[in-house]
Structure 1
Amino acid sequence: MPSQSDVITVDRVGIRFKRNRRARRSFKDLFAGSSRRSRPGEFWALRDVSFTVRRGEAIGVIGRNGQGKSTLLKLVAEVVLPDEGHVRVREGVAPLIEITGGFVEDLSVRDNVYLTAGLHGMTRREVDARFDDIIAFAEIGDFLDTPYKHLSSGMRVRIAFSVISQLEEPIILVDEVLAVGDKGFREKCYRRIEELLDGGRTLFFVSHNERDLRRFCTRGLYLDKGRLVFDGPIEEALERYSSDTADPS
């Protein structure tokens, strides 16, 4: 039974995706197929995944590409819904997942700040109060009236991270979003994440960088083929992952 300190509960969750959009279902599938069985052209991105997260925990989600890590974060962010099981999130989420999504190419940087912050629940008054801090953090003051489409990929990440990191939601979801940022700004963002953690936030962090995982996380969830194969201390999770992926030769 979940405790009062559990902010995320994932219970026997599974989610299916289509491999081939042209895959056809037979007449028999339509009327006799089980909804829990994979149909032709479908695969389970996650299956039978269960765990809980307590308030203030810092979780590293690890695994090879295509094993369900990003899908898991999107389930917690309620971007997608499970096909079986359920996900319960008891506190608000600040999603640093595909953070440049939602920005409008033809709008200026200034207008995009207000638009994106508003989409995440900030009022115009709140954005007004934090606007200077957002721009200063992103180091993008000379481009306020530049159309967003003219920004480099690194500049896009800067402004997006700066906006999202101003949200006061208790749960932070981070999915390799800073990979395109320059080293100096990436370190600046990481210090900001540490500040948020020191303030009691809960962290879900997807990364292939072991140094970053050790820096932020105390607990690791190791996914393999869409299933949770290890849940425990981050060092043990990384050792298990390293052992499983080592070249036999």
Structure 2
Amino acid sequence: MAELVYPPVVLTCKAMLRALDVKLDIQGTEHIPRHGGAVIACTHQSYLDFIFCGLGAQPAKRLVRFMAKREVFASRISGPLMRGMRHISVDRDAGKQSYDEAVRRLRVGEVVGVFPEATISRSFTVKELKSGAVRMAVDAGVPIVPMAVWGTQRFWTKGRPKNLTQRHVPVSILVGEPMTPDSDASVDEATTQLRSRMQQLLDTAQAGYPEPPENDAAPWWLPAHLGGSAPTPEEAAELDRRRPE
């Protein structure tokens, strides 16, 4: 099937990032398979992470089909784009249908993107993961490619006003080595291993990120363990319980 919608959307996103002079640093793209199915499991700090996760697959010439909640598909604005790019609608009341569709896509050689933390991490660390990414990789017989994006939270994240016009923001996209879960191994063990790899990538991205200005010694967009004013994982979990979004 011809790709009539996805390529123009990618070009538009790239043009917008150039206009804002976003400083993209993409590393490890050699780990994304050039052919065949794969699950990309990406960290989640921003409402815009799907854009940057998708850009991380561009050097491998792969288009990522993201799993997204059905409300996004119901929108008059985003819905036609999501369907045109052949992303996968997730109905939380009928999860098996979207899961089966993702596995089918993987088996025919597509790349499916998931955010296994399920929701944005307010602490800017990797939350506990849902097991779906591992289970679909096992069922489809494809590898999982861990990925971390960093800096995207400065544009738009939970509990902060969005700022989509700020310029010169560095954004890091790090891709890790693929892992192929063993069908005989524990899904929980493989999910724990995936989380560890994602956290390692995020740690690397954070360590290599440009230093904040001297007059911004405790920026809100840095995690607490790096001296930022973001909530700790425990505080973030409590915020999620009190103010789910």
Q: TM-score scaled by structure 1?
A: 0.36
Q: Which has the higher strand share?
A: 1
Structure with larger Rg: 1
